[in-house]
């Protein structure tokens, strides 16, 4: 991870599907010149599924509720948001509620500035009629965001059949993407 950051001269690195528990030894996650930020679920739920390594001079800001796995980083030209939409819902929460809560957490962004959202949405955009993909397409249109398909990001064998899906992608209103 440290090599990846320095060899590519990164300002920010998000890691989704992390499994950091409250009280773990976080020392091995220290990177010189970078802050290590955990999703706010580390405090509210005792577990972080998203980690952000960001240069110390960059500021983070809260988004969503204590149940959302979202980290916002302020850049000189806008914001970059890391996101992880858990595949499993919280107790007494439906998949629809889970999805709507995630989008509600992002609705507070200023879409008049550059916004880039990266991460694992657990929504397969390669299947336009899949669960929630149409809702996501509509939401991105209303916010002026474009979806950048990064290709297959999940593969698994089920019996003799290979299943592939595109659940990790980038949403942005920045024309550089």
pLDDT at 52: 95
User: Based on the structure, what is the number of domains in the chain?
Assistant: 1
In this prediction, residue 32 carries a pLDDT of 92
Under DSSP, is residue 133 helix (H, G, I), strand (E, B) or coil?
Answer: helix
Q: Which helix (H) or strand (E) holds 18?
A: strand 12-21
SS3 state at 50: strand
Please check whether residue 177 lies inside any domain of the structure: no
Burial 61-99 (b: 16+ CB within 10 A, else e): eebbeebbbbbbbeeeebbbbbbbbbeebeeeeeeeebb
Give pLDDT, residue 128: 67
Contact between 118 and 150 (Cβ < 8 Å): no
Q: If we measure between CA atoms, which residue out of 119, 71, 67 comes closest to residue 90?
A: 67
The pLDDT score that the predictor gives to residue 38 is 92
Q: Give the structural domain span for 130.
A: 2-172
Give the relative orientation of helices 133-143 and 95-106 as an angle to the nearest 10 degrees. Answer: 10
C-alpha 88/C-alpha 85 separation (Å) is: 9
What's the pLDDT score for residue 154? 73
Q: What is the CATH number of the domain that holds 97?
A: 3.60.10.10
* pLDDT recorded at residue 75: 92
Mean pLDDT for back-to-back runs of 10 residues, the chain (177 residues): 91 91 86 93 87 95 85 94 84 84 90 93 77 86 88 78 80 83
The whole model's pTM is what? 0.88
Q: Is residue 160 part of a domain?
A: yes
CB 138 within 8 A of CB 34: no
Q: What is the spatial distance between Cα 171 and Cα 106, in angstroms, rounded to a whole number?
A: 12
């Amino acid at each position: 991870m440290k090599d990846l950051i320095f060899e590519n001269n990164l300002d920010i690195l998000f890691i989704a599907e992390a499994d950091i528990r409250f009280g773990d030894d976080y020392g091995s996650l220290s990177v010189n010149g970078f802050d290590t930020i955990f999703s706010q679920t580390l405090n509210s739920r005792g577990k972080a599924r998203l980690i952000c390594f960001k240069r110390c001079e960059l500021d983070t800001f809260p988004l969503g509720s204590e149940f959302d796995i979202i980290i916002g980083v302020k850049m000189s030209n806008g914001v970059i948001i890391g996101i992880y939409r858990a595949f499993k819902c919280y107790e007494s929460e439906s998949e629809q509620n889970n999805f709507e809560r995630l989008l509600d957490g992002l609705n507070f962004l200023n879409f008049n500035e550059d916004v880039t959202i990266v991460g694992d949405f657990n929504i397969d955009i390669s299947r336009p009629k899949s669960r929630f993909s149409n809702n996501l397409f509509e939401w991105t249109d209303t916010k002026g965001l474009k979806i950048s398909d990064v290709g297959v990001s999940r593969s698994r064998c089920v019996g003799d059949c290979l299943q592939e899906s595109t659940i990790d992608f980038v949403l942005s209103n920045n024309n550089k993407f």
